[in-house]
Amino acid sequence: MTRSFWAKVIGNPSVFSLEARIFNAICITSAVALFLNVFFNALLGFTQIAILMAAVFVVVILCYYCARVKMMLDGSVIVYMIASNILFIVNYKYNSGIDGPTILLFILSFFLTICIVSKKQYWFWITLNLAIVIALFTIEYKYPGSIINTYPDSKSRFIDFGYSYIAVVFFVFIVTTSVRKAYDTEHKLVKQKAIELEYANDTKNKLFSILAHDLRSPLASIQNYLELLSEVELDEHERLTINTGLINATRNTQQMLSNLLFWSKSQMEGVTVNLVKVNLKEVLQSTFDIEQASAIDKGINLTNRLEEFTQIVADADMLQLIVRNLIGNAIKFTGTGGEIVLSADVAGDNCRIIIKDNGIGIPYEQQKDIFSLKADSTFGTNNEKGVGLGLVLSKEFTELQHGAIGFESAPGIGTTFYVSFKLNFQSQ
């Protein structure tokens, strides 16, 4: 709660630079210190200094407003530095010169200069700080009467020094803490960026692998077949065998390319989701019919047990792509004579689409990465190539529709995928 409030006061790290956040923290701390000092100096009888501090308090608040709200950091820093130096010069003159605590304030000013001034102004303000201190010391040394001791007694001097020391230490503590917190925040952001960059690099490598091998191989097969046709006489059985293999390879490649294009677009441009109420059986009928043909070619029994009037809230195109990928995977990893069942059940406000097969299942060691591009390429029961991209896409598109996806699998027994969606808008 406190950290969140402080982040709002000095600025969000994603919007404000480290220097800007430090300057905003210094402005807030300065305003509090000046407000307290107005009353403290008035009590000690330093009326002129109290009035000047009140004026500088207003200037600091304006600097904070310009830096935090108007995003005018450079101008705000310049005004702040000018106002603080004027305040310290006047304070030196009317607060007992070298016998007073102003030298502590100039040290504090030097520290703040290092923290907040930009590189192009850095040496100017440091040189100015040193020049002002040397000039004030020189004037007081050469003209002793120009600056007088204004303390009525030694007790007042000790109180003023003690208070000034506490104020300076508090100021340094606040600024240093802000710098450390800002550094920690920047460090976490850098680590997060590094993780994201590593993931993006892994994704890039995976996609290049898909393009280099999984899309090239079927094209090479088609080319070899065409060359074979032009050079060798084939009997009907050989021609039929090759045709079947090429059809399967082309179908798998087309599905893979479709997934690749959809996924690449979602990563680069984002995806627009059009959630509407759809009839589950109607919207998936064409998908089922297409996959039914693939299942028949492989000798697999694909059964549709979806009920007539089940309605869910989903994007029809995304839903078809998800189910097409899941049924396609089931066909790929189920052998001849196997069975795949498409069904759905309802629990409360949710409808769960179920794709169950009695295929080869997913090895336990691969299950944790099944929805990521870390998953290794695998081959189906007829050596169909699978790269896992369809499952990555299915998960992303399911979650974009506020749905959930999961699975159960046992090697040698089969796999069941579950995809859940809301039944109506009110329950979202």
Per-residue pLDDT tens digits for 23-82: 888 888 888 888 888 888 788 777 888 888 899 999 999 999 999 998 898 899 999 999
pLDDT band at 396 (very low <50, low <70, confident <90, very high): confident
Among 293, 401, 301, which residue's Cα sits nearest to residue 353? 401
Q: Please give the Cα distance from 367 to 71 (Å, whole number).
A: 49
**Most confident listed range (17-31, 101-115, 398-412):** 398-412
Q: pTM for this structure?
A: 0.49
Q: With a cut of 70, say whether residue 271 has pLDDT above it.
A: no
Supply the pLDDT for residue 427: 41
3-state SS record for the chain: CHHHHHHHHHCCCCCCCHHHHHHHHHHHHHHHHHHHHHHHHHHHCCHHHHHHHHHHHHHHHHHHHHHHCCCCHHHHHHHHHHHHHHHHHHHHHHCCHHHCCHHHHHHHHHHHHHHHCCHHHHHHHHHHHHHHHHHHHHHHHHCHHHCCCCCCCHHHHHHHHHHHHHHHHHHHHHHHHHHHHHHHHHHHHHHHHHHHHHHHHHHHHHHHHHHHHHCHHHHHHHHHHHHHHHHCCCCHHHHHHHHHHHHHHHHHHHHHHHHHHHHHHHHHCCCCCCCEEEEHHHHHHHHHHHHHHHHHHHCCEEEECCCCCCEEEECHHHHHHHHHHHHHHHHHCCCCCCEEEEEEEEECCEEEEEEEECCCCCCHHHHCCCCCCCCCCEECCCCCEECCHHHHHHHHHHHHCCCEEEEEEECCCEEEEEEEEECCHHHC
Find residue 185's DSSP bridge partners: none
Find where tokens 């299950």 sit.
Answer: 367
pLDDT (average), residues 389-393:
79
Q: With a cut of 50, say whether residue 123 has pLDDT above it.
A: yes
pLDDT more than 90, % of the chain: 27
Lowest-confidence segment of 15-29, 49-63, 127-141, 339-353 by average pLDDT: 15-29
pLDDT (average), residues 365-371:
87
Supply the pLDDT for residue 256: 63
Find out whether 164 and 101 touch, Cβ atoms under 8 Å: yes
Q: Which amino acid makes up residue 278?
A: V
pLDDT (average), residues 236-254:
71
Supply the pLDDT for residue 156: 84
Q: With a cut of 60, say whether residue 397 has pLDDT above it.
A: yes
Question: CB under 8 Å, gap of 24 or more: what pairs does 130-133 form?
Answer: 132/85, 132/88, 132/89, 132/106, 133/103, 133/106
Q: With a cut of 90, say whether residue 265 has pLDDT above it.
A: no
Find out whether 211 and 235 touch, Cβ atoms under 8 Å: no
> Torsions phi, psi of 144, nearest 5?
-55, -30
Averaged confidence pLDDT in the chain: 82
pLDDT in tens, 184-220: 777 887 888 888 787 667 666 666 665 655 566 667 7
Helices 316-332 and 236-268 meet at what angle, rounded to 10?
140
Q: Please give the Cα distance from 384 to 128 (Å, whole number).
A: 76
Supply the pLDDT for residue 55: 92
Supply the pLDDT for residue 223: 77
Please name the residues in contact with 183: beta carbons below 8 A apart, sequence gap of 6 or more: 18
Supply the pLDDT for residue 428: 43
Q: Please give the Cα distance from 370 to 362 (Å, whole number).
A: 9
**Most confident listed range (77-91, 198-212, 213-227, 228-242):** 77-91
Q: With a cut of 70, say whether residue 267 has pLDDT above it.
A: no
Supply the pLDDT for residue 216: 65
Torsion sign (Cα): 158, 163, 167, 173: positive
